[in-house]
A and B are shown apart, each in its own frame.
Chain A
Amino acid sequence: MMEMFIRATGNISPQKTFGHVPFLNEPVEYFTNRLSCIEPDYKNFIDAKMIRRMSRIIKMGVAAATECLQEANVEMPDAIITGTAYGCLEDTGIFLTKLVEQKEEMLTPTAFIQSTHNTVGAQVALMLHCHNYNNTFVHRGFSFESALLDAMMLLSENEAKNILVGSVDEITNTSHTIINRMGLYKQIPSSNFALFSSNTKGTIAGEGASFFLLSSEQSENNYAQLDALTTFYKPKNINEIENQISDFLNYRSTSIDEIDLLITGKNGDINGDKIYEEINETLFKNKPLINFKHLCGEYPTATGFALWLAANIIKTKTVPSIAGKISVDNKLKKILIYNHYQNIHHSLFLISAC
């Protein structure tokens, strides 16, 4: 694949990440198993006529996309590609609730038409009057990775130069209650900052909207270079995971020794985290390593937050202390992100300084 760069970002998360704010120097602590996004005043970003029909996830997505485009100084991207595992849950829930309560009668269309999974990408296109390529991936823990792969292929096909690509997912009261009943969240609330020392089952729920302007063009404003991405599905055992990681690096002629920083997707669940811990004893042994889900919570498209974190670490050459007590300097060159979602969806991202 050709060279591709992260030109700009826009990120709404449970941390202070939106707007021109310092890089995670005021971390936000939560004492629940549900981390909700810190949202801006959307009226500054979205036309009042459009906003009245938008649920929270659509507003988050459109605002994050808008900030990303503004930072990139790109008015019309050549493609808009989004990844969302759950789609527009709030509108889905509203329509389902009325459908049940009103016994399928006297329903109104707004929640239904806004509930389709492509709504965020569609609304961004509508706002920009952008007739270009527009796609939405909805594959659980691969949603964002698929979107990014699509963008990378488009760039190398010379079908596009600047692509807006993002991840969006929301927690609603309904989804939180249901997933809680499935036993995926921690039952004893403690600080998100102590997530990795809980030694208990379950994780904390998260959500977010992370957008990136991916470009095939060099610019001094670029955050970082996106070298490679891969995914693998339902590995049989830890050996297969290690082989996948080794193959990924070998294929890019990169040795693990060249990786200056690892970002892994630990989420506080003792079972799921075992995978990371085993690899930390082998392949990743003695490498500088940080985690990120204590900041954004766990959700299928959380790698959007991880990529934002990596891009900013490379750009600023600093690791925020809340992410890890690691000092890096200007020599910081390569970051490897490794994440798995429920040991089903595994992904690897290689990012380097421009």
Chain B
Amino acid sequence: MNAEVYVAGVGIISAIGNNTAENLAALASEHAGMNEITYLDTFYRNKLPVAEVKLNNENLATLSGLSNNISRTALLSTIAAQEAINDAGIENFSSLRTGFISANSVGGMDKSENFFADFLADNKKGKLRNVINHECGSVTEITADKLGIKNYVSTISTACSSSANAIFFAARMIKHNMLDVVVAGGVDALTKFTLNGFNTLMILDQQYCKPFDENRKGLNLGEGAGYVVLVSERVAHSLKKEMYCRLSGYANANDAYHQTASSPDGTGSFLAMQNALKKSGLQPNDIDYINLHGTGTQNNDIAEGTAIARLFEGKYPKMSSTKSFTGHTLGACGGIEAAFSVLSIKHGIIYPNLRLQTPMKELPFVPEIKFLQNQKVNNVLSNSFGFGGNCSSLIFSKQ
């Protein structure tokens, strides 16, 4: 159980790029991914900004090698997971015990919601092929089958903390010597279901979101997928390339305050961060960068900020919410932001928190607003918190 787990590869598709290199370039040039709604067929076109992946389903199908009839969620997942595997460059991949542990919040809902319109009019109508992959697990299997991963396949759904949980569940399976290599992370495509759901909560900013700003008005929904390839020590040593970093700490706690709202003092966030630090054997002042959950809602940012103020009292690491670039990608955000965290260590870079003009008056720190290079980044904390009080934190460390 004390074995180390290494990150050997990353793969990302989001509103700021279709692969890791494009994402990094957008982060460096401070180029956000929000826009008018282009691909989702919804009443809210031209009314609410979102952060869509800038490809239609036909393009995504081509990139993924899948049919364009398949849920956009599965297309996004396959593209990013395949990139992560290619990046890891594990030559004897098929002879190892491999796993795919993915997360998403609404599965193939993008197809189900279209099916439902026909079905409601007449329950003998609606193409079944549009609802056959409704389940969260079905989406995972489409990707696992495409990647040829078979030894272990599973899906986690804990709302917006889903993919952080997938990543550390995967790491534990490696530590228990059940698997050698796991592609872990998450995905969500933008759907009418989630867009309308968040809209009923009146937490969607009608402008581009401003995480950790005093005048923040809510979040922008995004979509995408992010995966890391986790490998055992043995596999890490057999690879010819240098590992990105280790997954050194992780924890999961529940806020147990309200189904959707965070507690004012961020109890769940505090416990997740504190326990992740404990697991990694690090002290708060060892952390060089925090990739914030930072959705841009009043409630999240004050709860998360309060918890950070308490845990890091006096000495605050650099921090930022990259949701100011990608929007809130729900089941994918823990995966995308884990990949960003890993890249921060590898390249010694800190991402800016865009559009932050007026720092929150309650907080004793201000997130980073400029892209920084040549930084010492040894340990990164990545936060992902969700509905149902599910809070998870991951810590990545340079070897």
Residue positions of A touching B, CB distance < 8 A = 53, 80, 85-87, 92, 95-97, 99-101, 103-105, 107-109, 112-119, 121-123, 125-126, 128-140, 142-143, 146, 150, 153, 156-157, 174, 177-178, 181-182, 231, 233-234, 344
Contacts and interface: CB of A to CB of B under 8 A. Distances in A.
A51 B136 CA distance: 26
Contacts of A92: 193
Given A104-B192, A122-B259, A135 B197 contact: no
A138 B157 contact: yes
Contacts of A112: 193, 196-197, 200-201
Given A85-B135, A117-B158, A125-B254, 11 more contacts: A99-B192, A99-B193, A113-B259, A117-B105, A118-B159, A122-B388, A131-B267, A134-B254, A138-B155, A139-B155, A142-B154
B4 to A, nearest CB: 15
A267 to B, nearest CB: 18
A131 B271 contact: yes
A138 B257 contact: no
Given A132-B254, A136-B156, A182-B132, A104 B44 contact: yes
B361 interface: no
Contacts of B155: 137-139, 146
B330 to A, nearest CB: 10
Interface string B141-155: 100110000111111
B213 interface: no
B112 interface: yes
Contacts of B255: 131
A252 to B, nearest CB: 15
A181 B125 CA distance: 10
A87 B196 contact: no
Contacts of B239: none
Given A85-B135, A109-B200, A125 B153 contact: no
B386 interface: yes
B131 interface: yes
A86 B155 CA distance: 12
A143 B176 CA distance: 20
25 contacts: A80-B254, A95-B196, A97-B120, A99-B113, A100-B113, A100-B120, A112-B197, A113-B259, A115-B197, A118-B386, A118-B388, A128-B256, A133-B252, A133-B254, A134-B158, A135-B169, A137-B156, A138-B135, A138-B155, A142-B154, A146-B155, A153-B172, A156-B1, A231-B152, A234-B150
Given A87-B136, A109-B201, A146-B154, A118 B192 contact: no
B2 to A, nearest CB: 11
Contacts of A126: 256-259, 389
Nearest to A93: B116
Given A131-B255, A137-B156, A118 B44 contact: no
Contacts of B42: 104
Contacts of A104: 42-44, 192, 196
A153 to B, nearest CB: 5
A181 B140 CA distance: 24
Given A126-B258, A182-B132, A231-B152, A153 B176 contact: yes
A60 B270 CA distance: 31
A88 B193 CA distance: 14
B137 A129 contact: no
Going nearest first, the 4 A-B pairs with the smallest beta carbon separation are A122-B388, A112-B197, A140-B137, A104-B43
Nearest to A1: B176
A29 B85 CA distance: 51
Contact of B137 (A114, A136, A142): A142
Contacts of B388: 116, 118-119, 121-123, 125, 134
Contacts of B44: 104
Contacts of B374: none
Interface in B189-203: 192-193, 196-197, 199-201
Contact of A233 (B124, B138, B153): B153
Contacts of B338: none
A175 B387 CA distance: 25
Nearest to A142: B154
Nearest to A117: B157
B94 interface: no
A228 to B, nearest CB: 12
Interface in B360-399: 386-390
Contacts of B1: 156-157
A146 to B, nearest CB: 4
Contacts of A181: 124, 128
A139 B268 contact: no
A126 B169 CA distance: 23
Contact of A96 (B176, B193, B200): B193
Given A131-B254, A182-B128, A140 B387 contact: no
B197 A136 contact: no
